[in-house]
Each structure stands twice: as structure tokens, then as C-alpha cells.
Amino acid sequence: MSMSAAVTLALLFFLSVALNEQVTEGCTCLPEHPQQQFCESDFVIRAQIIQKVPSIHPLLTTYEIQTIQRFKLSKGIQVIYTPHGMNLNNGDYLLSGHFSDGVAVVNLCDRVEPWNNLSSVQERYLNLYWMGCGCKILPCFGKSCLIEILQKNCLVRINDSLVLDDEEALQSICLPGNAGFCTWHKFLKRTISGQDSLVLRCESMSMSAAVTLALLFFLSVALNEQVTEGCTCLPEHPQQQFCESDFVIRAQIIQKLPSIHPLLTAYEIQTIQRFKLSKGIQVIYTPHGMNLNNGDYLLSGHFSDGVAVVNLCDRVEPWNNLSSVQERYLNLYWMGCGCKISPCFGKSCLIEILQKKCLVRINDSLVLDDEEALQSICLPGNAGFCTWHKFVDIKQNPASSLLNGQKRDGEQQAVER
């Protein structure tokens, strides 16, 4: 069906489930850093809300706007659409959102903020966030926030109430640095020439030294507890882990080796099968407390200064624990790496048609609770939107049947969820 019809149908379904409650009632959006929202949006603008106008979508509200300033936008916008229950007063706003069939949609979890609420630093950063869109910003919980130097991305702290609780990160920009690693940078002042000056939040150092220092700090805080104790990783779909990793392999752990990094454990491995890898690996490094027995594993991780690091939140799974479907999907996940998979909570999971990505359900205990998604692959479809596809049967040509997505009896296929 057309996207406009799909939006209407999805919202109708949502409202019927919600028993006529407001759309925003009970909807929880995972907190995001402003840079994340900027980079994930099709447009980010400062705009004046002029008035409501008649809507061509019965269950969407339409606003006439006047664009004042463009931060991320390639074409003009005169009208935006929002779900009912998301009321905007006339005034000056910062707005982000996505295009669907040429229509500008500002959704429940997009950025909608009165312009006067922004600080001067936040206003300035809107012209700079684009520089960090090649970086990834991940939420962290508790002690896992102490080991951000091991991540090939920037971490932002979220508290137990699922509120973004990291003022330093909110006043910073995540930018790429040495060896492809991203770190937080922060404004200190403007130079005399009027050029904005960015200053690193942390000292520059080689990755090997940084790993050692970060782990030493972590261990001193943890009072000699195991590194994994109390560490919480945000649950991720296996496709997310695949696409975010530098390598994904099936490997035999042979033995521990003497390590050139005092606080990292080295393992000699034999690669059995490469799912995502451009060069050979004979040795991997892990944080202490993350012990691997000799045996056959699925491993994912990142390269740092030519060293293969398997971190606390990477995928480390005995090969025999994988189902036949999971094994097959390891050869197919690459096809969906242009898609984004985002966690959702409660009623927000019902409106995925408005998202330009696939949603995966997480329960109140921060556990991935979505068996259908775990048995599916997120693939691009019409109008650049991504949807879940699932194997029904396995035959000779999995790739072509996945991309087709049509239901044909007796053949392998991916059926859109």
C-alpha cells in the first residue's frame, strides 16, 4: 500500500489498541543524545508554527510552518504532520523528523523543543553535529560507563529511571579521532577570530595505553571485583551487533597466551569461518574477568591499532548454542546494515510504521523480549523504509528470496512481519 495509507492504518491500529487514550500516553522513548537525533533525522530545522490546517491524513494533525533556519535539510518544508495527541502551540521550535512519500513527519520520539529552551551552546552545536554523524553514541548503565575507551563509540549515561543523566555528554559532540575511534569533544570558548574552538574532553593517547588506563581505573573503582560484575549492556539484536562490529567469526579458542597488555587477556585462536572479516586473526584480546574456555565460539569485536579486541558487550557465544536459523542469518545480516534497529518500550512498539527503522521490544527489566525479531532480519524496502523479514523455509537461493519477499508455497522466502 502507499506510505500515506500505511501511516493511517498503523495509527488506526494503535488507537484501537490504546482504547482512545492519547497517543503519547504510556509511550516511552529511549533517551537519545541530541547528536543522535540530529544524525538519524532527515531534517532538523528551526521553524515557526503558524497554524493548524486541514489534514489529508484523518488520524494525523497538519501544521503550516515557516522555516527560519535549516540545520539539516535539502528541500523546503511548508507543512509538517504529527500524530494526534502531540499538540504544538504557535511559536518558534526546533524540529526534527523524517520524510515519508515526500511528507515531513515529526514523530513522538523526534526532537520538538521550544527554541527559547535551548542554551547558546546547544544552538551552536546544531551547526556542528554533522561532523560526528560517522560516530555512534550508545547508552550505558552503571559500571559499564567506566570502560568507554574500549568502545569504538561514545557512551552517554542513562540512570535507572531510563533518563539521560550525563550533563557533560549533553554539552559535548562525539567526533572521530585517531585510529577511527570516536571521543567526546567540548566547547571551552570562542577564539578571538570568531572561530568556534573544540577541545577534547579527555587526553589523546594511543589505544593500547588508553585501554590499560581505562581498565586500571575501572578495577580500582570496582575494588578488585571481576570486570563483568555489575556491568549492564543495552540489549541488541544480533543484526545490530553484526553491523556494528569490525569482525564476526566462528573461531576455535586454542589457549591463553602471554599478553602485551597487562590488564588484557590474550587468546590464541583458529578462525573456522568468516562472516565479516577482511584480514586474518590469530590472537584476540579480552578484558580480565571475561574468561573463554577452549572450544568453538561465535565472536564479534573491533580492531584497535591492528589488535582484535572482543569487549564485554560484544557477541561471545558457544557455537553449539546457535540455532540453524541463527547460523544461516550470519551470512545474510550484511544485506540489512543500511537499516537501523532501535529498541522500543510499551506502546511505542505499536507505531513502527512511522519509524524509518525496525523496532525491537525491550521489557521493563531491560531484556530483549521479542522472539519474532530475533528470528528475523531487518531489510530495506519501499521508499527507503526498513521492515522485518523472516525465513519460512530454506531452499537454494536465500538471498534472492529474501529480497523478493513474496510468499510462494514450497520455496524459501522472507515474509514481511
Q: Is the pTM of this model over 0.75?
A: no
Q: Which of 167, 186, 220 is the last residue of a domain?
A: 220
DSSP 8-state secondary structure symbol assigned to residue 158? B
Residue 16 lies in a domain: no
Side chain identity at residue 202, one-letter code: C
Mean pLDDT value of segment 233-255 = 89
Tens of pLDDT, residue by residue over 156-185, are 887 767 778 888 888 889 888 766 678 888
CB 305 within 8 A of CB 284: no
More confident residue, 342 or 377: 377
Structural domain that includes position 75: 32-117
Classify residue 122: in a domain, yes or no.
no
- DSSP E strands in 224-365: the ranges are 231-232, 247-257, 264-276, 283-287, 295-304, 307-309, 316-318, 341-346, 358-361
CA–CA separation, 106 vs 137, rounded Å? 22
- Together in a domain, 145 and 171: yes
Same structural domain, 320 and 241: yes
Q: Look at residue 405 and tell me if it is in a domain.
A: yes
Report the pLDDT value the prediction gives residue 169, as an integer from 0 to 100.
87
Does pLDDT of 266 surpass 70?
yes
Indicate the residue among 329, 353, 376 that finishes a domain.
329
Cell of 167: 550533563
Does the pLDDT at position 155 exceed 60? yes
125 lies in a domain?
Answer: no
Same domain, 210 and 241: no
Give the pLDDT of residue 8.
38
Number of structural domains in the chain = 4
> Measuring CA to CA, which residue among 202, 225, 230 is closest to residue 214?
202
Query: Quick one: average pLDDT of 240-268?
Result: 89
Amino acid letter, residue 314: D
Which of 391 and 270 is assigned the larger pLDDT? 270
User: Quick one: 56 and 87 in the same domain?
Assistant: yes
Per the rule left: phi > 0, alpha: psi between -120 and 50, beta: everything else, 272 is alpha
Q: For the chain, give the number of residues.
A: 417
Is 67 part of any domain? yes
Q: In the prediction, which pLDDT does 244 show? A: 86
Residues 366 and 339 in one domain: yes
Are residues 273 and 243 part of one domain?
yes
pLDDT digits (tens, 9 = 90+) for 174-230: 888 766 678 888 765 444 344 444 443 333 333 333 333 333 333 333 323 333 334
**Closest CA relative to residue 46, chosen from 129, 114, 146:** 114
Q: Tell me, what DSSP letter sits at residue 235?
A: P
Of the pLDDT bands very low, low, confident and very high (cuts 50, 70, 90), residue 394 is very low
pLDDT over 60 (residue 412): no
Check whether residue 171 and residue 216 sit in a common domain. Answer: yes
Mean pLDDT of 306-322: 89
**Alpha-carbon distance 146 to 391, whole Å?**
39
In this structure, of 4-13, 34-43, 267-276, 298-307, the range with the lowest mean pLDDT score is 4-13
Does residue 167 sit in the same domain as residue 248? no
Check whether 396 has a pLDDT greater than 60.
no
Cell of 261: 597488555
Domain match, 255 and 319 both: yes
- E strand or H helix that includes residue 187: strand 182-190
Q: Report in angstroms the alpha-carbon separations of 150 from 298, 316, 382.
A: 20, 16, 37
Is 27 annotated in some ligand binding site? yes
Same domain, 323 and 351: no
Which pLDDT does position 388 carry in this prediction? 87
**pLDDT at position 247 over 90:** yes
CA torsion through residues 283, 286, 288, 293, sign: negative
User: Of the candidates 117, 144, 174, which is a domain's last residue?
Assistant: 117
Q: Which helix (H) or strand (E) holds 151?
A: none
Of 335, 319, 321, 255, nearest to 293 (Cα)? 255
Q: What residues pair up with 359 in beta bridges, in sequence order?
A: 342
186 and 254 housed in the same domain: no
Here the CATH number for the domain that contains residue 77 is 2.40.50.120
Q: In this predicted model, what pLDDT tens digit does every residue of 28-84 receive, in sequence order?
A: 567 788 998 899 888 999 999 999 998 887 778 899 999 999 999 877 799 999 887
* Residue 227: inside a domain: no
- Interatomic CA distance for residues 394 and 412, integer angstroms: 5
Mean pLDDT of 231-247: 81
Higher-pLDDT residue of 171, 22: 171
**What is the spatial distance between Cα 270 and Cα 252, in angstroms, rounded to a whole number?**
5
Pair 143, 213 in one domain: yes
Residue type, 228: T
